[in-house]
Structure 1
Amino acid sequence: MNWMQHLCSINNDKDLNDAIQDVNQFFNNYFLEWAEVLATQKLLAEAAVWLRKLTTSLRKPKCSKTPNPHTQFTENVQQILWLLNLRQSIKSLESLSPRYSLPFLPSDSGLRKRLLEKAFPWLESIPHIEPSAALFQPIHVLREHEDWVRCCCYSPDGRLFASGGDDGWVRLWDAETFKAQEAFKYKPGSAIRAVKFSPNAALLAYTQGPEVFLWDWHSNKLRHTYIGHVEPIDGLAFSHNSYYLASGSDDKTVRVWSTSEKKEGEEAIEVRDSLCNLLGHGDYVNCVSFSSDSTRLASGSSDLTIRIWTREGSEDGHLYRIERVLRGHSSSIYSLDFNSSGQQLISSSTDSTLRVWDISTPQNVDARGAICSLMGHELNVTSLDFSIDGSILVSASKDCTVRVWDTKQQNRKHTLRGHSDWVRCAVVSPDGNLVASASDDRSVRLWDISKDRGNGNQEERLFSGEDAHSDYVFAVTFS
């Protein structure tokens, strides 16, 4: 296991290249023996974690017409991970040697071609497994649930994820090893339709039928049962301070609940009085979302509308009232999210559109039309960032560009060109005049977007050279 940690720490290109060649030779000759030793010591899951880290931490080689050991290494690791994950996902294989997963690799797998005859010299007919696509399926399949799995979410620190299904169980999993950690089943007989961690990572909420259950998952104890809805609940959201929990139901209502702690030694409390019951939707409420300061709550419905509710009274006020209704989608709305300033809202719908809404200015209750639909990048978008006032949206892409969008004018202001590799991250300065970008070309660039230079190019400052980064730059931020 230690060799993988050492491989991650090699900085010299030649030494790294030599080491990867040695690893490739080791995999080609001794992978099965290595995997069997790991299996006997119950280390396969840990090995898979380190192999995934290797594929993300090793620097990408420069393009070359000659065969590159990095390419073979990446292919080997992908195939090994696929094999290990298959073995863990199918219980009948877990008690067997890892070699018995080998025939199920795709037929075009180099690892299978090299090792199959060695592992099964007596095999006369080799099964054909469809190629290519199998290697790009999810990295793991978890099969503890006994019925449909309807919902899942990560914990704020990314170390755990939760899942809920029609079998009535909520399960917690380790996000690195994929091993089950905890399981909750308080009320048998109905499906889990939504599950959420609180932002402070202390609580886990889930919906079952018309009820919401709030668990202190560290102690594996139920804190509250919220009773008030009369139909199943699909929408669930914590406020960012974790004080409030909102639920949206098929009974066409939104309720807001307090997550306050029960007294020590006290049994789980049945809470029948929500802080508020919000009426107005004409069909199922599918999703809810709080703004970052919790002063606004958005709800999306099958009635084709989004309702924005604002908190009344003082900062600690509990009641919400209707602020506006957003119309524009032609089918049910299923997800919502506020930007960091709370001045814009993004929504997605079964009408195949994603819409950005400006909710910063006072309007009549009925507001029609999203701000814009933004198109232009030629490859995947890797990051998005709003300016503080919400007037600018910056997008970074694998097409090596950064694009600056005017959300009010609904168009692209600038295309920032200069990076020679994927741009991983781009952010706007607090005053909205600068954009910083980080790239796989090992540079950070600072762009002045305050002036239109006419030719589409913006003044930039390049941070690179001997004293700069020697590998990919994944993130950048302003003070």
Structure 2
Amino acid sequence: MEFGAILALSVLIGALVILVAVAVGRQKGELSEQNEQKKDTDAPVEENAVKAPSKKQKQQQRPRKERPQQHTFTHQLLSSVLKSHSGNVTCLDFSSNGKYLASCADDRTIRIWSTKDFLERDHKSLRANIEFDNATFVRFSPDSRAFITWLSNGETIRIYKMIKKEDGTFNFKAAPEDFPQKHKGIVINIGIAETGKFIMSASVDTTIVIWDLKGDVLATINTNQMTNSHVAISPCGRFVASCGFTPDVKVWEVCFGKSGEFKEVARAFDLKGHSAGVYSFDFSNDSRRMVTVSKDGTWKLWNTDVEYKKQQDPYLLRTVPCQVSEGSRIALSPDGRVVAISNGCDIAMYNANTGELEKEFHSVHSEEITNLKFDINNRFLVSSGDRAIRVFHNVTGYRAAIQDMQIMLKKASNEGMRQRLLQQIVDAQTALDTVFNAPKN
């Protein structure tokens, strides 16, 4: 009995020893595995190996914002695509001498392009950096030697001088002081009069401010249109016009004395005829014609060459149905022969003399079109709506010019006039033929 008890106790002790050994072995195995993982983590990373970030590092790392793919658009009438901006283009403006196109974007830059390069394969530009801010609008001065900008964060106007260097390029020098802050609402446009006498800024809250070139306020206008959708200075430099929630366009004259002193802002005339709010408007280069596009689904052409001081109203020349959407833009070619209208990402081009729809371009940009501009020589139409600027041949303008000159040729009273018209017709037809026969890049 005593021997059996001892044997049982020995078996029990042996079992306990085995269990303890197994437990210790497992613990050693786990520690060994953890040490191996630590060794792998602490080991130097080979040239092609990727080090896994820790949990803390993952929290500190910001997700990389992927750059959106450049929108592709092709068309026979597309002359060129200007691509240097890394952000969405917010404004376009041609210089009055026809040599330059200015563009600004939300990448904190303004770029100056040479219009003579529009037909070339490469399109270089000069860059002006906007430190710690974005320029949402840019406008050339009348002499094409400076430009003004609206600063998004600073909410003010800044003037830059363009200093020409020996190699033909420019340095850009900002004025010592910006204009004071005066607007409470979001600014929707700025401009500088071709006369060089005043600068305009306008906000969505129906306010228009008229400044002198030093940044002093000359006058403030309340448009009383509930909201402003577009405001601009006429190319002649005499008028400021606005449109918005109401179905009319209001036009004021900014008056100066004979010695150049500011006198007043006087109401000139209204464009009345739309049945809903007006999205946008534009002038011909001589300010004798205006076009408007409205929420009512029409665009209208007006003769504004009237004696408004004698209460003569502008003449409505044409009403044409069109496709529109919130934010539609309209542009009138400088010679008054072509109307371009944006509808979302699409562009339609009309003959202004006949109202006929001649060209449509679909999905021109990846986002809604924000700018439509004709160059001063009526050769190109430019648009923006994403990071690229697209330049189109104005073939509608060439055709309209040929039609007009053929009519004038029939009425020519002397041989000299006939010969000039014949030569102009040949030149326009040659330009038209060149566009369609040009090799594609």
Question: TM-score by structure 2 length?
Answer: 0.51
1:403: which partner in 2? none
The one-letter code sitting in structure 2 at the alignment partner of 1:156 is S
**Residue 252 of structure 2: SS of its match in structure 1?**
strand
Question: What runs of 5+ residues in structure 1 fail to find an aligned partner?
Answer: 1-89, 93-129, 261-270, 376-380, 387-392, 400-421, 428-434, 439-444, 451-458
CA distance in 2, matches of 1:352, 1:140: 30
The answer to whether the 8 Å contact 2:203/2:228 transfers is yes
Note if 1:226 corresponds to 2:226: no
The answer to whether the 8 Å contact 1:160/1:172 transfers is yes
The answer to whether the 8 Å contact 1:258/1:275 transfers is yes
CA distance in 2, matches of 1:382, 1:162: 18
**Residue 179 of structure 2: SS of its match in structure 1?**
strand
Note if 1:236 corresponds to 2:190: yes
Q: Summarize deviations over 1:359-414 as a string: whole Å, max 9, x none.
A: 42448999799443279xxxxx999559xxxxxx9679999xxxxxxxxxxxxxxx
Q: In structure 1, which of residues 368, 373, 382 is the aligned counterpart of residue 319 of structure 2?
A: 373
**Residue 225 of structure 2: SS of its match in structure 1?**
coil
> Structure 1's 327 and 471: CA in aligned 2 closer, same or farther, altered over 3 A?
closer
CA distance in 2, matches of 1:437, 1:337: 25
State the 1:306 CA deviation.
1.6
Note if 1:144 corresponds to 2:144: no
CA distance in 2, matches of 1:317, 1:178: 43
The answer to whether the 8 Å contact 2:412/2:418 transfers is no
CA distance in 2, matches of 1:148, 1:327: 35
1:336: which partner in 2? 282
Q: In structure 2, which of residues 171, 175, 199 is the aligned counterpart of residue 245 of structure 1?
A: 199
> Structure 1's 462 and 293: CA in aligned 2 closer, same or farther, altered over 3 A?
closer
> Structure 1's 194 and 354: CA in aligned 2 closer, same or farther, altered over 3 A?
farther
> Structure 1's 258 and 373: CA in aligned 2 closer, same or farther, altered over 3 A?
same
Q: Summarize deviations over 1:178-211 as a string: whole Å, max 9, x none.
A: 21312230442xx533221123101212222332
The one-letter code sitting in structure 2 at the alignment partner of 1:172 is I
> Structure 1's 372 and 181: CA in aligned 2 closer, same or farther, altered over 3 A?
same
The answer to whether the 8 Å contact 2:249/2:272 transfers is yes
Note if 1:326 corresponds to 2:271: yes
Q: How many residues are matched?
A: 276
Note if 1:160 corresponds to 2:103: no
> Structure 1's 290 and 214: CA in aligned 2 closer, same or farther, altered over 3 A?
same
Note if 1:463 corresponds to 2:426: no
> Structure 1's 371 and 140: CA in aligned 2 closer, same or farther, altered over 3 A?
closer
1:60: which partner in 2? none
Question: What runs of 5+ residues in structure 2 fail to find an aligned partner?
Answer: 1-66, 164-170, 322-331, 338-351, 359-397, 430-441
1:74: which partner in 2? none
CA distance in 2, matches of 1:470, 1:297: 34
State the 1:343 CA deviation.
4.7
The answer to whether the 8 Å contact 1:162/1:171 transfers is yes
Q: Structure 2 matches for 1:249-398, cutoff 5 A?
A: 249-259=203-213, 271=215, 273-312=216-255, 314-315=257-258, 316-318=260-262, 319-329=264-274, 330-338=276-284, 340=286, 342-359=287-304, 360-362=306-308, 370-373=316-319, 384=335
Q: In structure 2, which of residues 394, 410, 415 is the aligned counterpart of residue 447 of structure 1?
A: 410
The one-letter code sitting in structure 2 at the alignment partner of 1:253 is T
Q: Summarize deviations over 1:52-71 as a string: whole Å, max 9, x none.
A: xxxxxxxxxxxxxxxxxxxx
State the 1:353 CA deviation.
2.8
CA distance in 2, matches of 1:201, 1:368: 32
After superposition, the CA RMSD in angstroms is 4.6
**Residue 251 of structure 2: SS of its match in structure 1?**
strand
The answer to whether the 8 Å contact 2:402/2:428 transfers is no
CA distance in 2, matches of 1:193, 1:231: 14
CA distance in 2, matches of 1:163, 1:333: 22
Q: Structure 2 matches for 1:32-47, cutoff 5 A?
A: none
177-186 or 247-256: bigger deviation? 177-186
State the 1:337 CA deviation.
1.4
Q: Structure 2 matches for 1:402-413, cutoff 5 A?
A: none
The structure number with the bigger radius of gyration is 2
CA distance in 1, matches of 2:419, 2:315: 41
Q: Summarize deviations over 1:32-75 as a string: whole Å, max 9, x none.
A: xxxxxxxxxxxxxxxxxxxxxxxxxxxxxxxxxxxxxxxxxxxx
> Structure 1's 252 and 314: CA in aligned 2 closer, same or farther, altered over 3 A?
same
State the 1:346 CA deviation.
2.5
State the 1:216 CA deviation.
0.9
274-283 or 152-161: bigger deviation? 152-161
> Structure 1's 372 and 363: CA in aligned 2 closer, same or farther, altered over 3 A?
farther
2:31: which partner in 1? none
2:139: which partner in 1? 196
The one-letter code sitting in structure 2 at the alignment partner of 1:139 is S
1:51: which partner in 2? none
**Residue 92 of structure 2: SS of its match in structure 1?**
strand
The one-letter code sitting in structure 1 at the alignment partner of 2:293 is S
The one-letter code sitting in structure 1 at the alignment partner of 2:419 is F
The answer to whether the 8 Å contact 1:327/1:369 transfers is no
The one-letter code sitting in structure 2 at the alignment partner of 1:425 is A
Note if 1:180 corresponds to 2:180: no
Q: RCO higher in 1 or 2 (8 Å CA, sep ≥ 6)?
A: 2
The one-letter code sitting in structure 1 at the alignment partner of 2:228 is V
CA distance in 1, matches of 2:222, 2:424: 57
1:28: which partner in 2? none
Question: TM-score by structure 1 length?
Answer: 0.47
Q: Structure 2 matches for 1:11-160, cutoff 5 A?
A: 133=74, 139-145=80-86, 147-160=87-100
The answer to whether the 8 Å contact 2:298/2:320 transfers is no
**Residue 318 of structure 2: SS of its match in structure 1?**
coil
CA distance in 2, matches of 1:358, 1:317: 30
The one-letter code sitting in structure 2 at the alignment partner of 1:448 is K
The answer to whether the 8 Å contact 2:285/2:335 transfers is no
